[in-house]
Amino acid sequence: MPYWRLHYHGIWSCKNRAPLITPELEPKLYEYLRGKGLELGAIMHEVDGIEDHTHIVFSLPPKYAIAELSASSKARVPTGSRTF
């Protein structure tokens, strides 16, 4: 079985760094980001942030490009009447 250890630190910010991540939205957003990473087989070490950006520390198998995780997690997601 092959061994790999690739750790990445990604930062995703809101458009124009607008403070759109509210305390009510945080759990939904972080769970969504964790789920997207797990869909690609990533190990999600940490997902956190503040009102205008998130930090994600993850390990991604070498068969995937980082761009795939980035594109997958940046999709527009309905959260009630808003999208992010």
Residue ranges and CATH numbers for the domains of the chain are 7-75 (3.30.70.1290)
Mean pLDDT of 5-11: 91
**The pair of three-digit structure tokens given for residue 21, joined into one six-digit string:** 């991540």
pLDDT tens per residue, range 40-83: 889 999 999 999 999 999 998 888 888 877 777 766 555 554 44
Can you read off the two tokens belonging to residue 50?
């503040």
d(CA 25, CA 19): 12
pLDDT in tens, 26-43: 999 999 999 988 988 899
Mean pLDDT of 17-23: 94
